[in-house]
Amino acid sequence: MTLPIVDLDSWTLSQSIVVFSVCALVIAIAGTRITRVVDQLADRTGLGEATAGAVLLGAATSLSGSCSR
């Protein structure tokens, strides 16, 4: 038997909008930070910015699969 941590069916529209907005803000801030890191990584390693970005994009998208049981 699994117990839900949060009962999403009981959320109001306002709560959903607030959670969505916070998540969008976190993604925007993290995305901006990641682009700076990729630019510095590309400069230090001599790789192209597109190559360094592709490596980080691949790593970031595979994170969700590495946490499953």
Q: Give the residue extent of every domain in the chain.
A: 25-52
What b/e readout covers 41-64, taking b as 16+ CB neighbours within 10 angstroms?
bbeeeeeeeeebbeebeeeeeeee
Tell me if the pTM is above 0.95.
Answer: no
User: Which residue bears the tokens 């959903």?
Assistant: 16
pLDDT score recorded for residue 18: 93
User: Is residue 47's pLDDT more than 80?
Assistant: yes
User: Is residue 58's pLDDT more than 90?
Assistant: no
Residue 66 vs residue 36, higher pLDDT: 36
